[in-house]
């Protein structure tokens, strides 16, 4: 049995420049899909997968994320006094237990690989999950849960992948797939943001990873790569020479909520998925008479 994955790392230091001015003073991870912030989706997905410790790599202007995962006595008292017990129970249920969150800062925006490296002392010599909170999934069971199943079988490092349009490969990390079922196949290579026509496949790394702690020493020596940033993909490529990497083409679909289109689409589909919102929402959309736009 591989060593259990108890810790998840959430890099939340990004500047959110694609969402200005909304993200000028507010972290992009607090943008909401329907009524939940992006970061909450990632934390819920991790919890469903059995994660017990939640590590946030933050940056400037991100204090509100820490507040979001803390108790709010004034709010709770008000809800209690007003008899709003369902809302109160929901708030409490979503909170990680005391002592099960850690916050560390990435002091300079040097790239995703550097952000992950900033969590090295907290994670220690343990396997960990890495979740990029911009990427929100419509999947049941959750994508990390599906990846944990593969981890229990294969151990090593696990990467979640999904198909993209061949014209979009240069926005992502792309893998080279070996023989095996979608639930777990060997990864033979990977490249960060290849040019269209030079990618080994159209399977992209969609922001969910299970990694072994040996990645940290590789990250500490990692030179800058694509976009002049320290890339996690480049260190994973080196780790691939020493340890197995398994891909999971999970059952589900990602919405890149760091982009306006992905974010808007996620809001529509997540609203339509909600029993308490669907009927009213469809009624309002019909009233808009979108014929000309669709």
Footprint of ligand G1P on this chain (CB under 6 A)? Answer: 112, 132, 135, 172-173, 192, 204-207, 231-233
- Between 206 and 212, CB nearer to ligand G1P: 206
- Between 185 and 255, CB nearer to ligand G1P: 255
| CB 14, min distance to ligand G1P, A | 7
- Between 157 and 231, CB nearer to ligand G1P: 231
| CB 96, min distance to ligand G1P, A | 24
- Between 49 and 132, CB nearer to ligand G1P: 132
- Between 45 and 192, CB nearer to ligand G1P: 192
| CB 34, min distance to ligand G1P, A | 21
- CA atoms 75, 81, 84, 89: torsion sign: positive
Q: Give me the residue whose beta carbon is nearest to ligand G1P.
A: 173
**CA trace torsion 285, 286, 292, 294 (10° rounding):** 60
| CB 154, min distance to ligand G1P, A | 21
- Between 100 and 224, CB nearer to ligand G1P: 224
| CB 72, min distance to ligand G1P, A | 31
| CB 18, min distance to ligand G1P, A | 10
């Amino acid at each position: 049995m591989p060593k259990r994955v108890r810790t998840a790392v959430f890099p939340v230091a990004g500047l959110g420049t694609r969402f200005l001015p909304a993200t000028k003073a507010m972290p992009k991870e607090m943008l909401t899909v329907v009524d939940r912030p992006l970061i909450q989706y990632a934390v819920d997905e991790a919890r469903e997968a059995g994660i017990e410790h939640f590590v946030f790599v933050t940056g400037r202007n991100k204090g509100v994320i820490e507040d979001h995962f803390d108790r709010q006595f004034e709010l709770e008292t008000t809800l209690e006094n007003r008899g709003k017990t369902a809302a109160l129970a929901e708030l409490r249920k979503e909170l990680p237990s005391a002592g099960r969150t850690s916050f560390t800062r990435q002091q300079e925006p040097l790239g995703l690989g550097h952000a992950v490296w900033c969590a090295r002392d907290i994670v220690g010599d343990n396997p960990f999950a890495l979740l990029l909170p911009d990427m929100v999934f419509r999947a049941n069971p959750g994508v990390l849960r599906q990846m944990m199943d593969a981890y229990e079988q294969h151990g090593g490092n696990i990467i979640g992948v999904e198909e993209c349009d061949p014209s979009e490969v240069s926005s992502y990390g792309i893998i080279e797939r070996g023989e095996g079922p979608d639930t777990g196949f060997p990864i033979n290579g990977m490249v960060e943001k290849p040019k269209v026509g030079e990618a080994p496949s159209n399977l992209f790394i969609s922001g969910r990873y299970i990694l072994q702690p040996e990645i940290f020493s590789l990250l500490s020596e990692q030179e800058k790569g694509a976009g002049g940033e320290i890339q996690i993909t480049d260190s994973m490529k080196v780790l691939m020479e020493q340890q197995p990497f398994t891909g999971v083409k999970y059952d589900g679909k990602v919405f890149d909520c760091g982009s306006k289109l992905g974010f808007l689409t996620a809001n529509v589909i997540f609203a339509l998925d909600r029993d308490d919102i669907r009927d009213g929402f469809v009624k309002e959309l019909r009233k808009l008479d979108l014929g000309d736009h669709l």
